[in-house]
Structure 1
Amino acid sequence: MSSKKTFLEFFAGGGMARLGLGDAWRCLLANDLDPQKCASYRTNFGGDDLIEGDIAQISGSDLPRERVDLVWGSFPCQDLSLAGARGGMSARRSGAFFPFWSLIEALIAERRAPRIIAIENVSGLLTSNGGRDFACVIELMAEAGYAVTAATLDAKHFTPQSRPRLFILGFAPGLTPPKAASPFSEDTAPTALAAAQAQLSKTAKAQWFWLGAAPRLSRNARLSDIIDWDAPDWHSREQTEKLIAMMAPHQRARLDNIVKHGARRAGAAFRRTRIENGEPVQRVEARFDGLAGCLRTPAGGSSRQIVFAIENSDVRSRLLSPREAARLMGLPEEYILPQSTNAALKLCGDGVAVPVVRWLAETVFEPALAGAKARRAA
């Protein structure tokens, strides 16, 4: 029998949670609805453990018979994201959470409850429907007997991308994850999380603990280190000048100062429409702090991130490439991306940052499981 820890990966996408968990873990089942993401999953991991299709069509009888260490679910976030319409979990896409939870309930009913449940979503879940969506998830886990916590973890600690995400974690009785009596860090427990936790029911609060760990900055790369400076598809000078002209004055001044000092630096930007003096104005909102903005799915032209490369007092621009997006997600160079640019960018924009999962595995999941195993052996 394998000594590896076991997991199920729902809303698996291209398998980024699997990559983050690493070789010490064994996937028993993965599921996703998107055919292109499933094709990437098969290309990179094989398809023996993959079920392609709607999670609502999966039943408890389809799940492995053994009790698993971890169930991971990065359920769809479009209706919860601050960047989109706030339909909440009653909306069609995020309604996928409830079929996911019904599978957890099936495992519990058969005395095969997973030892750990991990749910990843955008921070908008904290305020969606006035915090009721977050409370619903927490209370379901608490009522099922899990000790529960939540933390905001940002990929910027590991890769040059600003990507805060909410992680809700549940631990079965007998597991002792790192705990704190109060919020351990403002980074992992921002004001919105503290406010959402304060509104929980007594039942949920009785099962709640604050995560007693926070990632330290381990990133050793800036945006300038991961972009391809020799890429062939740069904009024309006229296109670049047009983009620069769309920057707000303070951002243009920042760019001019970098150019003046001859620094070699990369910046990232999105096109956004802002209301100025009562009128809509299209702006290019850029940052030159060594980080890219949060990757999005390519639903429209404004969702494609722009790269600015500054070198020898010259400024070039182009769209971020799929391979650069993959690097921002912590995917290894050997990871095979879809050939379609949009499919590759969607895979990355919808995914979970690989090193964030790795941090959770090393700092939270594996010590909790090892401690429980040692106590059982004593």
Structure 2
Amino acid sequence: MLDTSDKTSEKYSFFEFFAGGGMARSGLGDEWECMFANDMDRIKAATYKKNWGDSHFDSRDIHEVKIEDLKVHVDLAWASFPCQDLSVAGNGLGIGNTGSEGVTRSGALWPFLELIDGLRQESRQPRLLVLENVVGLLSLEGGRDFSAICSRLGEIGYRYGAVVIDTRHFLPQSRPRVFIIAVLRNIDTPRHLYREMATESWHTPTLMRAYRSLSPQIHADWVWWDLGLVPTLKKNALQSIVKLEGIDWHTPEETTKIISRMTPIHVARLEKAMAAENVSVGSLYYRMRREGDINKQRAEITFSDVLGCLRTPRGGGSRSRIIVAGNGQVRTRLLSIQEAAALMGLEDTYVLPEAYQHAFKVIGDGVAVPPVRFLAERLLEPLILAAREDIVRDFEGAAKQAAAFA
């Protein structure tokens, strides 16, 4: 017999696929209970276990996970699937085709959706799915990858929509990500959670172009999710994270070498910042740029209240660096592990690998914590509560009908 006594007070339950260090879990918060987590990367798996334990963790390749391993019926399945083949810094291979196992790393999404389909056939698919990735997913291959995902979601019984949330609204880091939120068709979605048309706040021009490229059949299952007002970043948020004293800086010779790799445009930008009376903190990245017939490594800087997107370091070129200039002075250094963790919204108690490269691998491939909490509060939790209320109403209606015939 179904217990309808207090469905709204239960914890929300979820699976976390491609879990990394469990940053989606950190964002969802204490009101959520993870029933299964999976990631095959050794460094990320070790980080997850240090922070969340290993009783529910599976370190196998997603292709090896079976429906039998997912023993319970949960509210949500979260998948921050690999972005390497979708990002600007990646190789542009895309996600491949349904069933094309092992073609690309980002193609690991397909076996995840096959697992969800298997749960559907046992009538225990999650009420909600969240697929999170870089915004390159929307435009790569002319939007065909995005279209293929939406089509597959429709085939396995979901309505869906997407929003773009930039971490810069919560933390001083520019990190736009696309979140595809799918809900079972039989759930009565509360009217205040969606609109009849796109909103400028959550549906960017890139997302709109991707939407227009979808077929009418895919449009039929589309939902324009509404997350309400956009948060405002607190003043001096960057200054509260980046340390100016008590930390190791590059030597003057190292800084001079970095400046020598700048183009005249970036040198002029630096000179302007150095001439100012106030100290400015900026992002510093190495980029390979085509100049004539050769590729050159260039140092590029931007001074802003928001730093550039944190990345996974590969060979040192994309390591996150900062540059501080003002009062005729300039200093440069690597961003510290502690600063990077704060830029992702991680608590001080979160345990990261001690090795710099390993820590930034976990951070660079992770999802920022505050946008996850925001999405849960504005959309996921209200949808789950609505689904639970549907169950209660159906049960009570069936009970009344049975009583009438008794």
Please give the range of the TM-score, normalised by the shorter of the 2 chains: over 0.9
Any idea what SS the aligned residue of 2:308 has?
coil
What is the TM-score with the length of structure 2 in the denominator? 0.88
The one of 135, 146, 159 aligned to 1:134: 146
The 5-angstrom pairing of residues 100-249 of structure 1 reads 100-172=112-184, 173-176=186-189, 178-185=193-200, 187-213=201-227, 216-220=230-234, 221-249=236-264
Deviation, 1:228, is 2.5
Question: Structure 1 CA distance, aligned partners of 2:119 and 2:391?
Answer: 22
Deviation, 1:340, is 1.4
Q: Which structure 1 segments of 5+ residues have no match?
A: none
| Structure 1 residue 255 corresponds to structure 2 residue 270 | yes
Q: Which residue of 2 aligns with 1:354?
A: 369
Question: Structure 1 CA distance, aligned partners of 2:27 and 2:207?
Answer: 25
Asked if the contact 2:40/2:60 (under 8 Å) is kept, the reply is yes
Deviation, 1:277, is 5.2
Query: Which residue identity does 1:75 align to in structure 2?
Result: F
Asked if the contact 1:143/1:203 (under 8 Å) is kept, the reply is no
| Structure 1 residue 295 corresponds to structure 2 residue 310 | yes
Query: Which residue identity does 2:80 align to in structure 1?
Result: S
Any idea what SS the aligned residue of 1:127 has?
helix
| Structure 1 residue 9 corresponds to structure 2 residue 16 | yes
Asked if the contact 2:94/2:104 (under 8 Å) is kept, the reply is no
Judge which range, 14-23 or 242-251, deviates more: 242-251
Query: Which residue identity does 2:63 align to in structure 1?
Result: A
The one of 84, 95, 100 aligned to 1:89: 95
Q: Which has the larger radius of gyration?
A: 2
Q: Which structure 2 segments of 5+ residues have no match?
A: 1-6, 97-102, 394-406
| Structure 1 residue 46 corresponds to structure 2 residue 53 | yes
Deviation, 1:231, is 4.3
Question: Structure 2 CA distance, aligned partners of 1:288 and 1:71?
Answer: 38
Query: Which residue identity does 1:68 align to in structure 2?
Result: V
Number of residue equivalences: 376
Give deviations 1:70-120, integer Å, cap 9, x for gaps: 000011111111222211112331221111111101111110011100001
Deviation, 1:241, is 2.3
Deviation, 1:307, is 0.9
Question: Structure 1 CA distance, aligned partners of 2:64 and 2:229?
Answer: 37
Question: Structure 2 CA distance, aligned partners of 1:70 and 1:299?
Answer: 33
Any idea what SS the aligned residue of 1:224 has?
coil
Give deviations 1:127-152, integer Å, cap 9, x for gaps: 22222111111011112221100111
| Structure 1 residue 365 corresponds to structure 2 residue 383 | no
Query: Which residue identity does 1:99 align to in structure 2?
Result: P
Q: Which residue of 2 aligns with 1:264?
A: 279
Query: Which residue identity does 2:212 align to in structure 1?
Result: A
What is the TM-score with the length of structure 1 in the denominator? 0.94
Question: Structure 2 CA distance, aligned partners of 1:334 and 1:313?
Answer: 38
Judge which range, 174-183 or 136-145, deviates more: 174-183
Give deviations 1:142-188, integer Å, cap 9, x for gaps: 12221100111111111111111111110112142611211111x52
Q: 1:273 to 1:214 in 2, by over 3 A?
A: farther
Asked if the contact 2:12/2:75 (under 8 Å) is kept, the reply is yes
Query: Which residue identity does 2:85 align to in structure 1?
Result: D
Give deviations 1:271-299, integer Å, cap 9, x for gaps: 11223455544321111111111111111
What is the RMSD of the two structures over their aligned residues, measured on CA atoms? 1.9
Asked if the contact 1:158/1:219 (under 8 Å) is kept, the reply is yes
Aligned residues with identical type, % of pairs: 43
Give deviations 1:237-283, integer Å, cap 9, x for gaps: 12112223333333333332333222132111111122345554432
Deviation, 1:312, is 4.9
Any idea what SS the aligned residue of 2:161 has?
strand
